[in-house]
Chains A and B, each alone.
Chain A
């Protein structure tokens, strides 16, 4: 079983919000910068890697019941985005890794996306 804290260690990520979720199990993972793709293609409980940092990303994640978001490339995140995540105790991580490499590291642990088996 892979927990949020394992992903945090793997990507050397900062935990910006949702500290209480560190021991939850990560079951599937995705990556997208498009709101509509997150809305359409994710499954509840997923962790999504993104380069998208507007507050909307949190709203989108909450509407789709994601477990958490990982912002890549060490991007600056608007304080409103972090505040919004904290208000909702939503898991928000940030890694310096780029999207491709970060996805690769997670994929190597055996975790798959919402298209697994298709």
Chain B
């Protein structure tokens, strides 16, 4: 399925997200009266390929890209003011626009990013495709990505949900999943649960971690045909569980998401597995869940569990 169709389909699901919720508000803009050379330096320092251009009232009047700068260099206009070469036909997004509108813009205009403006046409942010992705991950319990381009996220040490670094050597708990032994499925989850019980965490969160990890681990054993690992990380206010494998990946994530759908063979079902509830249960018990999978490159499940706040209000 082409990238844009896929984006359009997600847009329908995430209709209530507004552009303002997902934009990067840390936007670098430049005055139209500045020299092109100035824009060139700024873009070099900030490592960006384009910038919104504003007038003295900070209102958006144009956009300048690397192409414009190359053009200016070529014709020796590098010391001209930006307004002379900037594109004035700027496609903008209003901060109140729905995600569907944002996605439409990406589909209809082949730009990599769009400036976001407020009612006074002042630039308040910028949106790239990545911002859409992060916005959705931040806001929702679950998203899955099944996309060749996501190899950069798969098997890296950065959290797919929060972007923070998760070094496997800093995991507080690690278990190597033995995918060849169906009877051992769930052992890692049981050990993790025991580990957490020993640390005196509240039984509710320990149970939730246990159940969700059990499902993720079982999936690796039943479906991955590869090797897997469970990593547990603890942050100030949350637990992060990562279950990764290098197996065959999930063929059809839409189906895998459906309760009751299962590709488990009979001998697995005979053992009480394969109810098609795995992902549904992970979603039910984790506070946030991201599954990243690529065919023949493995699957990565990341789950976040927020610790209950320590201070309860007195009543």
CB contacts under 8 Å to B, within A55-77, are 55-57, 59-60, 62-65
Could you list 20 A-B pairs, sorted by A, with CB under 8 Å?
A: A33-B272, A34-B273, A34-B277, A35-B272, A36-B273, A36-B275, A36-B277, A36-B278, A40-B277, A44-B203, A54-B183, A56-B271, A57-B272, A59-B190, A60-B186, A62-B193, A63-B189, A63-B207, A63-B214, A64-B207
Bound Cα distance A60, B207 (Å) = 11
CB contacts under 8 Å to A, within B124-172, are none
- The answer to whether A36 and B186 have CB atoms under 8 Å apart is no
Interface SS of A by simple majority: helix
Bound Cα distance A34, B284 (Å) = 17
Give min CB distance, B114 to chain A, whole Å: 42
Give min CB distance, B241 to chain A, whole Å: 13
- The answer to whether A59 and B207 have CB atoms under 8 Å apart is no
Give the number of chain A interface residues (Cβ < 8 Å). Answer: 19
Bound Cα distance A95, B35 (Å) = 87
Question: Could you say which residues of chain A place their CB within 8 Å of the CB of B185?
Answer: 56
Give min CB distance, B212 to chain A, whole Å: 9
Is B59 in contact with chain A by the CB < 8 A criterion? no
Give min CB distance, B43 to chain A, whole Å: 52
Give min CB distance, B184 to chain A, whole Å: 9
Q: Give which listed residue, B187, B215, B275, B280, contacts A59 with CB less than 8 A.
A: B187
Question: Could you say which residues of chain A place their CB within 8 Å of the CB of B210?
Answer: 63-64
Is B98 in contact with chain A by the CB < 8 A criterion? no
Give min CB distance, A84 to chain B, whole Å: 10
Bound Cα distance A52, B270 (Å) = 9
Is A10 in contact with chain B by the CB < 8 A criterion? no
Question: Could you say which residues of chain A place their CB within 8 Å of the CB of B87?
Answer: none
- The answer to whether A54 and B277 have CB atoms under 8 Å apart is no
Contact with A along B181-203 (1 / 0, CB 8 A): 00101110110010000000001
Bound Cα distance A39, B273 (Å) = 11
Is B211 in contact with chain A by the CB < 8 A criterion? yes
Question: Could you say which residues of chain B place their CB within 8 Å of the CB of A52?
Answer: 271-272
Contact with A along B275-311 (1 / 0, CB 8 A): 1111011001000000000000000000000000000
Give the number of chain B interface residues (Cβ < 8 Å). Answer: 24
- The answer to whether A60 and B280 have CB atoms under 8 Å apart is no
Q: A44-B203, A62-B193 are in contact. Are A39 and B211 (CB under 8 A)?
A: yes
- The answer to whether A37 and B277 have CB atoms under 8 Å apart is yes
**Given A39-B281, A40-B280, A63-B186, 5 more contacts at CB 8 Å?**
A39-B214, A40-B281, A52-B271, A54-B183, A56-B186
- The answer to whether B214 and A60 have CB atoms under 8 Å apart is yes
Bound Cα distance A48, B174 (Å) = 30
Question: Could you say which residues of chain B place their CB within 8 Å of the CB of A40?
Answer: 211, 277, 280-281, 284
Q: Give which listed residue, A35, A37, A54, A55, contacts B218 with CB less than 8 A.
A: A35
Residue with the highest number of chain B CB atoms closer than 10 Å, among A36, A54, A59: A36
Give min CB distance, B79 to chain A, whole Å: 68
Bound Cα distance A44, B193 (Å) = 14
Q: Give which listed residue, B190, B215, B271, B276, contacts A39 with CB less than 8 A.
A: B215
Closest-by-CB residue of A relative to B190 is A59
Give min CB distance, A60 to chain B, whole Å: 7
Question: Could you say which residues of chain B place their CB within 8 Å of the CB of A34?
Answer: 272-273, 275, 277
Residue with the highest number of chain A CB atoms closer than 10 Å, among B187, B210, B276: B210
- The answer to whether B272 and A62 have CB atoms under 8 Å apart is no
- The answer to whether B280 and A62 have CB atoms under 8 Å apart is no
Bound Cα distance A71, B278 (Å) = 24
Bound Cα distance A37, B185 (Å) = 16
CB contacts under 8 Å to B, within A2-54, are 33-37, 39-40, 44, 52, 54
Question: Could you say which residues of chain B place their CB within 8 Å of the CB of A60?
Answer: 186, 214
Bound Cα distance A60, B186 (Å) = 8
Closest-by-CB residue of B relative to A63 is B210
The 7 closest A-B pairs by CB, nearest first: A36-B277, A36-B275, A63-B210, A34-B275, A35-B272, A59-B186, A52-B272
